[in-house]
Amino acid sequence: STSHRIAVIAGDGIGPEVVAEAEKVLDAVCGPANIALEKTPFPLGAEHWLATGETLPQVTLEKIREHDAILFGAVGAAPGDTRIPSGLIEREILLKLRFSLDHYINLRPSELFPGTVSPLRDPGEVDFVVVREGTEGPYAGNGGVLRQGTDQEIATEVSLNTAHGVQRLVRFAFELASRRERKKLTLVHKHNVLVNAGHLYQRTVNAMAPQYPDVTVDYLHVDAVTIFMTTDPSRFDVLVTDNLFGDIITDLAGAITGGIGLAPCGNINAERTAPSMFEPVHGSAPDIAGQQKANPVATILAAAMMLEHLGHGEQAEQIRSAVRSDLEDHGATQRSTAQIGDAIVAALPA
């Protein structure tokens, strides 16, 4: 038997509800395969900060680092909650984890499963992956505020992009595209305006393309991507993009493929110098928290990505096919969070 240490950060809002279902599915699939998951829960998030004043202390980060992978729900308060400064929890917990553990690949697959309802009238076959940069760009925390609160206030967030960061991202995207059936890579940026970072991305893609002669490469400005993602999403295979653009287009990708409650994310440290982290694309959804209204599929699919990363491709595929068959049968049915988790467990191979 194999054993893995999993740090579980359920977080705020619907986080604990969706993580509970993912754990249910993990237990059901790992038990029979003799895969032991030693789970350590870490109480972190907005509620934890309100109760204790701590976000993610260094000692806790070091304990998390000793695990083989992290299963993450969501953190953060309702956007209008005045008790918590917006950005504190997100930066000091989620982004601190991504940056400290060097999660430079933020991997976000989008698939329109049979049985799910897309808001697009005629979406066609949708099956693409966004390879979003995870540790740089405008998220780097580079900037500040001058003369705050005055009419002369100047606020900056300076996007940080390194050749090292862009090269390892683009390398990963080419490798992924070359393993997929359609072998197509779309660079997404805005190099008609962001000429510094944009050209670094474009030059990096151009320089690597000859090493992947079977991969078709193209480029779209990010604003045009929002057009094609709504009018012709089946044109996409692998998209590679910066941190902020990737954030925005993956919420859109979730929406067109049946809802953000279905979209998983892997924060990958591909060199495995620290544990990778698996989570839904969505947030803590304070508007539906505590009501068993959240769809746990995104987190369940993230758990499948985690098993794949840990070397259990067979069990990952079992989860994905159970999700597929459940969506095919009940994709349009109103069900509680736990009912969906139970149905997916029931759809696993006996």
Nearer to ligand NAD, 191 or 282 (CB): 282
Clarify whether 223 is annotated catalytic.
yes
Query: Does 340 contact ligand NAD by CB under 6 A?
Result: no
Contact range with ligand NAD by CB under 6 A, out of 28-36, 72-80, 173-181, 319-327: 72-80
Contact residue for Mn ion among 247, 279, 308, 326 (CB under 5 A): 247
**Which member of 10, 71, 77, 112 binds ligand NAD (CB under 6 A)?**
77
Query: Could you give the 3-state DSSP secondary structure of residue 161?
Result: coil
Of residues 125, 121, 96, 314, the one with CA closest to residue 233: 125
Q: Which of 27, 81, 218, 223 is catalytic?
A: 223
Q: How far is CA 49 from the centre of its chain?
A: 23
> Is residue 90 a contact point for Mn ion (CB under 5 A)?
no
**Does residue 279 belong to the site contacting ligand NAD (CB under 6 A)?**
yes
Q: How far apart are CA 278 and CA 280, in angstroms?
A: 7
Read off the amino acid at residue 268: I
Nearer to ligand NAD, 75 or 215 (CB): 75
Is the distance from CB of 284 to CB of 15 less than 8 angstroms? yes
**Span interacting with Mn ion, options 85-93, 127-135, 158-166, 241-249, rule CB under 5 A:** 241-249
Segment near ligand IPM (CB under 6 A); pick from 10-18, 90-98, 118-126, 140-148: 90-98
**Position among 64, 94, 126, 222 found at the interface with ligand NAD (CB under 6 A):** 94
CB of 35 to ligand IPM, least distance (A): 27
C-alpha gyration radius of the chain:
20
**Binding segment (CB under 6 A) for ligand NAD, from list 28-36, 48-56, 103-111, 293-301:** 293-301
Q: 245, 272, 250: which is closest to 263 by C-alpha?
A: 250
Using CA atoms of 260, 44, 10, 274 in order, give the dihedral in degrees to the nearest 10: 90
3-state DSSP assignment of residue 269 = coil
Report whether 303 contacts 317 (CB < 8 A): no
List Cβ neighbours of 244 (8 Å cut-off, separation of 6 or more). Answer: 137, 138, 139, 159
Catalytic residue flag (residue 251):
yes
136 binds ligand IPM (CB under 6 A): no
The residue number with the shortest CB distance to ligand IPM is: 90
Phi, psi dihedral angles at 244 (to 5 degrees): -75, -45
How far apart are CB 264 and ligand NAD at their closest, in Å?
11
167 in Cβ contact with 190 (< 8 Å): no
**Cα(174)–Cα(178) distance, integer angstroms:** 6
32: phi then psi, degrees, rounded to nearest 5 = -60, -25
What is the C-alpha separation between 55 and 42, in angstroms, rounded?
11
Which residue out of 139, 201, 237, 326 is catalytically annotated? 139
Binding positions for Mn ion, rule: CB under 5 A: 247
Residues known to be catalytic: 139, 190, 223, 247, 251
Binding positions for ligand NAD, rule: CB under 6 A: 14, 18, 74-77, 79, 90, 94, 260-261, 279, 282-288, 294-295, 298
Binding positions for ligand IPM, rule: CB under 6 A: 76, 90, 94-95, 247, 281, 283
